[in-house]
Amino acid sequence: MIAIIRKEINSFFASTIGYLVIGLFLVINGLFLWVFKGNYNIFEAGFADLSAFFELAPWVLLFLIPAVTMRAFSDEMKMGTLELLLTKPITLNQLVLGKYFGAVLLICIALLPTFLYVNTISALGNPSGNWDVGSTIGSYIGLLFLVTAYTSIGIFASTLSKNQIVAFIIAVFLCFALYYGFEGLSEMSDLGTTLQKFGMKAHFDSVARGVLDTRDILYFISISFLFLGFTVLKLRKES
């Protein structure tokens, strides 16, 4: 499995995909947080806080993660190399997990430079260093859980079509439906709170408050395992 992870990381950075994903993530967030005027602009907020970044990042990742995962298995199926991979001394589970963790690591690398935002917020605080440590750490943990869930969905979507664009669209739709779909439905139903608990946004917001609830952790782990399981079943059917 380690060999698959290394292969995925190397393939990301051997082409422009890895650099493009990291660059786009940082540029889009940077423009909204520091340049463009609006609700996400930290300077206009009047206080040193990164809540705007953690509101924006899930929506940016909703498009960027499917862009990373769309080629995971769609390329293999299109070029007929999936059968060749399965003949190697690795199990199907190891193959799926290798591609999964390779994509997760790439997104984590993209998140690393955003720690500079924390340093900037700390310097902007009055007095300097006055910022909400617990909430920021909780939000980064929530973002990590969100990345694992989005990636599992994207990996599964890549098995549904040999066309990368189709896989990308399916992944974006599924991520959106699970992140905000239940939140939207809750506003139109009497079962508001109950419906919200089925969506990722409610659980992400809960973790972002700085409180690690086992229910939120189990939710994200369950989503990841569910879609990775779907991926294995789909590939087993194809092979």
Give the 3-state DSSP-derived string for 188-199, with helices as H, strands as E and coil as C.
CCCCHHHHHCCC
| Cα separations in angstroms, 212 against 203, 207, 215 | 10, 6, 9
Q: Are 166 and 73 in contact (CB under 8 A)?
A: no
Q: What is the pLDDT of residue 158?
A: 94
What average pLDDT does this structure show over 16-43?
A: 85
pLDDT of 199 higher than 80: yes
Q: Are 188 and 122 in contact (CB under 8 A)?
A: no
Q: Are 235 and 82 in contact (CB under 8 A)?
A: yes
Question: What is the residue range of 75's domain?
Answer: 1-238
What are the tokens at 63? 């498009």
What average pLDDT does this structure show over 102-111?
A: 92
Return the CA Rg of the chain. Answer: 19
Share of the chain above pLDDT 90, in %: 41
Could you give the CA distance from residue 28 to residue 57 in angstroms, rounded to a whole number? 9
Q: What is the pLDDT of residue 40?
A: 82
pLDDT, greater one: 40 or 94: 94
What average pLDDT does this structure show over 29-45?
A: 83
Helix (H) or strand (E) holding 184: helix 182-186
Confidence of residue 189 (pLDDT cuts 50, 70, 90): low
Least-confidence region, from 36-45, 52-61, 78-87, 153-162: 78-87
Confidence of residue 239 (pLDDT cuts 50, 70, 90): low
- Split into its structural domains, the chain has a count of 1
Mean of all residue pLDDT scores within the chain:
86
Residue 189 identity: S
pTM of this structure = 0.91
